[in-house]
Amino acid sequence: MEEFNDTIHLGDNVVKVLKSIYDPEIPVDIYELGLIYDVMINEDQDVKILMTLTSPNCPVAETLPKEVEEKIKSIDEVRSCEVEITFDPPWSKDLMSEEAKLELGML
| Average pLDDT rounded to a whole number, residues 82-94 | 95
Task: Look up residue 62 and give its amino acid.
Answer: E
* Average pLDDT in the chain: 91
User: pLDDT by residue (tens digit) across 31-76?
Assistant: 999 999 999 999 899 999 999 999 888 888 889 999 999 999 999 9
Q: Can you tell me the distance from the alpha carbon of 102 to that of 66, in angstroms, rounded to the nearest whole number?
A: 28
Which residue from 23, 12, 46 is spatially nearest to 95, judged by alpha carbons? 23
Proportion of the chain above pLDDT 70, given as a percent: 95
pTM of the model: 0.90
